[in-house]
Structure 1
Amino acid sequence: MTAVSSPPAAGTAPAAPADLLARLVDAAHRQTAERRAAVPLAEVERRAAQAGPVRDFGAALRAPGLSVIAELKPRSPLKGPLTDDYRPAELARRYEAGGAAALSVLAHTEGFGGRPEDIATVRAAVGLPVMRKDFVVDEYQIAEARAFGADAVLLVVAALTAGRLSELHAYALRMGLHTLVEVHSVEEARTALLLGAANIGVNHRDLRDFRIDLGLTARLRAEVPADRVLVAESGVRGPADARRLHTDGADAVLVGETLMRSADPAAEVAALIQERS
């Protein structure tokens, strides 16, 4: 998959519908530019320095058994709206009641309908570690995540050049944040390992053709040392998938759509946790 790291040129035609990754990255650049124009980076960094203590995202995922990162997002760029009544604080409390180890909060607006401010709402509602889920392309997003109370940020290898990935990873660590580095191939997993990533996410969805390959976790577990946390992402439809992925070596699963569509998110999280090898 071709890496993308530069903002779109003025007047550039929209990406082809199939090029989902490029469209989402372009949108992240636009959103970040708009927010930077309203509040400069220096001010956001000042606010970040005053944020409360970071909760230990990595330790939460290393607990015995299968950990669940429960995701909050109002919509999907592929599936459209996932709820007509998005209440992040209430949903976060339900996830916590079900036994989630950590929460993933979508802050990408164009593709997922989320806002960076949702991080602060969720952080105030629960005692769990909170991750900013986004296509992070700029230090501004990382500082903003910390300012709003995030404990971790997602970095997508396919969305960045190796140089920018390294810079953003280092900046996140300097800000005191944990990272989840997302990969989709053996080559990208090796890039994450060279980076020193402690938590590696395996995205089962190929953003070129949208196919789901749950077998990817097992193949990449063979490449990732046991001292690194492996998180299985995308396509987890229920307890049977969770059981398979835990058997395949996942320490945690990140689940969004299944939980967002559930009538009882707490029970759904609890069912996923019970599926252990």
Structure 2
Amino acid sequence: MNILDQIIAHKREEVAQRKSLYPVKLLEQSTFFKGKPVSLKKYIRREDKVGVIAEFKRQSPSKGVINSAAKVEKTTIGYMQAGASGLSVLTDTKYFGGKNEDLITARSFNFCPILRKDFIIDEYQIIEAKSIGADVILLIAAALSPEEVKSLGAFAQNLGLEVLLEVHDKAELERSINPHIDLLGVNNRNLFTFETTVQTSKDLAELIPDEFVKVSESGISDPAVVVDLMKHGYEGFLIGEHFMTKGSPEKACRDFVRKVQGLINR
């Protein structure tokens, strides 16, 4: 059983437990549930932005603890002041050290689009995502059947949320792509070896239809790589580890965004 299989098996147990503790009717009473989601697609394409989706991530299965001291409020506000196009907040507890309260905090202090980064396998989690203030959900092709990707995507869009589909290779892309997706993310990290290479994003770029916002995820630490990926049609860049390993993630984000802008304007 690989790490993704382990995570999904645990997630099924977790979701079943949460359903009994927090019924859907309770989630729908949240003040955030009634709010209008903010479009990540629009923010990524804003002319004053460079497409960086800045992630708040305390730990990961491949790296262990990344940053246990960073505060959600300070970091996420700092990310947006730094010029990020949106936020990504991990809400998985067991493997990533996140929690729903992290996203609620980020939402309380920011008006920008927020991606709920978790392992979505059930419609319940999509309702939950909206109830905690998320604007976008992540669907991971490697963890879902094509039918599940389609039905969960449609369910999310019906609630007004945008959908980021994550793929790792050509086979996942071809079998999972459907009309109920807004953004298509290519994860540069190999699920089995944990190695990262942005070549994965380049290889898949031409296979992604133009109606989707292309997002490159993982292994991006050089502003020059972002500018290079832009030439391949990528508009969004999900970056977490590179920022979170620094003492001040928000300052690292600001420096990164400025360098990207500098390279574009050269």
TM-score normalized by the length of structure 1? 0.87
> Given residue 24 of structure 2, which amino acid in structure 1 is its aligned partner?
L
> How far off its partner does 1:202 sit?
0.4
Paired-residue identity, %: 32
Residue in 1 that maps onto 2:229: 245
What is the distance in 1 between the residues matched to 2:235 and 2:33? 32
Residue in 2 that maps onto 1:123: 107
Does residue 23 in structure 1 map to residue 12 in structure 2? Answer: no
> How far off its partner does 1:46 sit?
4.2
- Give 3-state SS (helix, strand or coil) of 2:30's partner: helix
Aligned positions of 1:31-110 closer than 5 A: 31-47=14-30, 50-64=33-47, 66-110=50-94
Residue in 1 that maps onto 2:141: 157
> How far off its partner does 1:119 sit?
1.2
What is the distance in 2 between the residues matched to 1:142 and 1:166? 14
- Number of residue pairs matched by the alignment: 260
Task: Encode CA deviations 1:54-102: one digit per residue, 9 max, x unaligned.
Answer: 1111111222463100001111111111113131111101101110110
Alpha carbons 1:103, 1:129 under 8 Å: kept:
yes
* Equivalent residue for 2:196, pick from 196, 212, 225: 212
What is the distance in 1 between the residues matched to 2:141 and 2:29? 28
C-alpha RMSD over aligned residues: 1.8
Does residue 177 in structure 1 map to residue 161 in structure 2? Answer: yes
Does residue 194 in structure 1 map to residue 178 in structure 2? Answer: yes
> Given residue 201 of structure 1, which amino acid in structure 2 is its aligned partner?
G
> How far off its partner does 1:48 sit?
7.2
Alpha carbons 1:192, 1:200 under 8 Å: kept:
no
> Given residue 106 of structure 1, which amino acid in structure 2 is its aligned partner?
L
What is the distance in 1 between the residues matched to 2:122 and 2:189? 24
What is the distance in 2 between the residues matched to 1:113 and 1:192? 29
Residue in 2 that maps onto 1:133: 117
Aligned positions of 1:6-21 closer than 5 A: 15=1, 19-21=2-4
TM-score normalized by the length of structure 2? 0.91
> How far off its partner does 1:196 sit?
4.1
- Give 3-state SS (helix, strand or coil) of 2:52's partner: strand
Contiguous gaps of at least 5 residues in structure 2: none
Moved more, 230-239 or 37-46: 37-46
> How far off its partner does 1:224 sit?
1.4
Moved more, 60-69 or 196-205: 60-69
What is the distance in 1 between the residues matched to 2:33 and 2:204? 38
